[in-house]
A and B are shown apart, each in its own frame.
Chain A
Amino acid sequence: MQAVLEGRALAKTYRSGDIDVLALRGVDIRVAPGECVAVVGRSGCGKSTLLHLLGGLDRATAGEVYVEGRRVDGVSDAEWARLRRRRIGFIFQAFHLLDAMSALDNVALPARLAGHDRAGARKRAGDLLCELGLENRVEATPAQLSGGEQQRVAIARALVNRPAVVLADEPTGNLDTDSARTVLELLTTQRGEDRGLLIVTHDPRVAAGADRVVRLRDGLVVGDTALAAAGTRPAQLVELEGW
């Protein structure tokens, strides 16, 4: 089955002062349709860099990126913009919502950029926000929303154009435990049959929600574990001493 997102031999080197930092040293990664892949590792292992390369937010020093089978690593900025409008959705740790606009307008923005009319975009945005439990907060500006609410708005924004791939960079990094769990649940349930989800995280609990966990260390893949679907194992989880 064709991968919805693929990176081959991705490498990224950048100069810091006098030294070359090898952020990525040749990483292969695949996300199949309907699959949720978590990329984990300590700080500095290159996981965020990998995500930026896959989404065109940064340019690779070497390697190839394929979105829905099409090679995209060298395309123009304008073409990347088109991809990010229609095929790729982003979720950031720092939310990156536009402060000047309401939640509804923030979510509707990618749809409008893609050419939908204002009313249609706002309706779709409204529906998404309701699905995510924010029906009472659609007119609030980001400054009036809590961290968890903002991230949910960001998720809605990433999904509004029904992308084939969703890239999330530490989506729960700025959230407390409860908000993190809500966001994680939302992300994984929004997966859909054809959509691939790649989550970069340092939180093992977030990683455990994925179908596959890819571990990076020092810019290289050091582990790729597939997790069985939940519920296929027996129920007992805890053994109390003396029981």
Chain B
Amino acid sequence: MRQAFLVLLAARPAHGYELKTELERHFGGLLPALNDGQVYTTLARLERDELVESHDAAGDTRGKRIYALTDRGRREALQWLGAPASEAKLKDEFFLKLALSASTGMGDAMALIDAQRHAALQSLRDLDSRPRGGDDTVPALLREGVALHLQARLRWLDVCEERLEKPSEENHASRP
């Protein structure tokens, strides 16, 4: 979230409230709604780190502050934007479960795969059932990314199932 705020402020300075609405507009209903507390906490941390500075709006007595980037903040924002995200990281709770189950023999690896598959299919179905509303918008891009990720997931599940079943077949074959 930090980086998102930095980039938005790099475009122009804004109120905290404006930042919140803009984020929601950009990402549509795909991300959970932010509450005010999260927004101002993040902004405060950014100020503490001297990436952002704020001042009171002129002529505004309600205490809304306008936030803007410092030079350091601008640099960090652009640097973050320009660098590719790491592709190698895979934070995947399912994989942890599967790996542990397969190696320790605890739990039922096959049943886990089945359940995950059902979950992925269901997610895919829910995703595709939403109204499309313009393929060129950012939410549509994100949705397509999620769908493809789910498809990849389903293919990976097939591979897992196939590979993990093999040892049992080999065991069967080696018995007299």
Contact = CB atoms under 8 A, between A and B. Distances in A.
Interface stretch (B47-55, B71-79, B98-106, B147-155): B147-155
A205 B32 contact: no
A37 B154 CA distance: 18
A228 B123 contact: no
Q: Taking each of A228, A233, A237, which has the highest tally of chain B beta carbons within 10 Å of its own beta carbon?
A: A237
Interface residues of B, number: 29
Given A209-B125, A223-B114, A230-B129, A237 B155 contact: no
B1 A243 contact: yes
Contacts, number: 65
B135 to A, nearest CB: 8
B26 interface: no
B126 A237 contact: yes
Q: Taking each of B124, B151, B155, which has the highest tally of chain A beta carbons within 10 Å of its own beta carbon?
A: B124
Where chain B touches its partner, the secondary structure class is helix
B40 to A, nearest CB: 16
Where chain A touches its partner, the secondary structure class is loop
A235 to B, nearest CB: 6
Given A237-B30, A238-B30, A243-B32, A228 B122 contact: yes
A199 to B, nearest CB: 14
- By Cβ-Cβ distance, the 6 closest A-B pairs, closest first, are A230-B129, A208-B124, A204-B154, A208-B125, A204-B151, A230-B126
Interface of A: 42, 178, 181, 203-205, 207-209, 213, 223, 225, 227-228, 230-231, 233, 235-238, 240-243
